[in-house]
Amino acid sequence: MSRNPNSPLPPRQPVPPRRAPIPIGPPTGRTPDAPPSVARITPAAAPVVAPMSRSYEAAIVARAGTYYRTTRYIMVLVLIACGGWFAYDGWYGYPKTNARIKQLDLELRQLDAQRPRDDAGIHQREDERAKYKPQSDLDISIQKYLSVGLPIAGLLMLLWTLYHSRGVYRFSNQMLEIPGHPSLALEQITHLDQTLWERKGIAFIEYKTPAAEGRIRLDDFIYERDPTDAIFKKIQDHFAGREEP
């Protein structure tokens, strides 16, 4: 239906008053007009856990001795270098010397047979000949054998050094760990031989476990001295005041 803009507008209908919204399901005792309160939720407090008592102590660790390994590394290098020196003499130096001696002897015979004699040339070759010492076949063979044997000995020494000083000595929580042996509690050590300790820093430990028994060498030259001595002191204190079986 079209509306004529010149016609008077119909009277506006009165707007009913706005009602306050009625809360759904108000808590008991709350009036509808009261503003809803925000319930504060307090999270449950986390249970307090008492710290566990720890009786752990710092581990004592003795690694391979620096001086022990360094001196043996030097010996290995010396053996290998000597092998190279002997190889030079056996395969090159001694044969070259013998060849030069033969050449000088031949030249001296030729000069001596010439007429007129070349005395200056003879004296020069005789002086050079006096500087050389002929090497026998046995000398050459010895040089060759040493050139092969010494490097092999050096490599064997290197392997022995690394094996003999492998791993670490470790003492932690009353447990002793030595390379090549099972972990031991102090109660499993049956005997402590400290006869050589004061003089050489060597002690022997005998042990017995349900699975094995054996003998341990504790050496503060092969392994670091201060921690090795500290481990020895722990074992010594354990044996103090009680009779060994």
pLDDT for 134-159, tens place per residue? 999 999 999 999 999 999 999 999 99
Domain range list for the chain: 66-164, 169-239
Contact 165, 184 (CB under 8 A): no
pLDDT, average across residues 109-115: 83
Given the structure tokens 């204190």, which residue do they identify? 237
> Residue 170's closest CA among 158, 155, 184?
184
More confident residue, 133 or 39: 133
The pLDDT, as a whole number, for residue 4 is 46
* Average pLDDT over all residues of the chain: 83
Given the structure tokens 């200056």, which residue do they identify? 120
245 pLDDT higher than 70? no
The pLDDT, as a whole number, for residue 11 is 54
Helix, strand, or coil here: 77? helix
pLDDT, average across residues 187-211: 94
The pLDDT, as a whole number, for residue 58 is 87
The pLDDT, as a whole number, for residue 23 is 53
Residue 154: how many CB atoms within 10 A of its CB? Answer: 21
Q: What is the pTM (predicted TM-score) of this model?
A: 0.68
pLDDT for 165-175, tens place per residue? 999 999 999 99
Contact 72, 157 (CB under 8 A): yes
pLDDT for 59-85, tens place per residue? 999 999 999 999 999 999 999 999 999
Q: Is the dihedral of CA 157, 163, 164, 168 positive or negative?
A: positive
Band of residue 113 on the pLDDT scale cut at 50, 70, 90 = confident
The pLDDT, as a whole number, for residue 19 is 56
Helix, strand, or coil here: 60? strand
171: left (phi over 0), alpha (psi -120 to 50) or beta: beta
The pLDDT, as a whole number, for residue 240 is 83
The pLDDT, as a whole number, for residue 12 is 47
205 pLDDT higher than 90? yes
Band of residue 120 on the pLDDT scale cut at 50, 70, 90 = confident
Supply angle C-alpha 96, 102, 106, rounded to 5: 145
pLDDT for 6-54, tens place per residue? 445 455 455 555 555 555 555 555 445 545 544 444 444 444 444 544 4
More confident residue, 78 or 5: 78
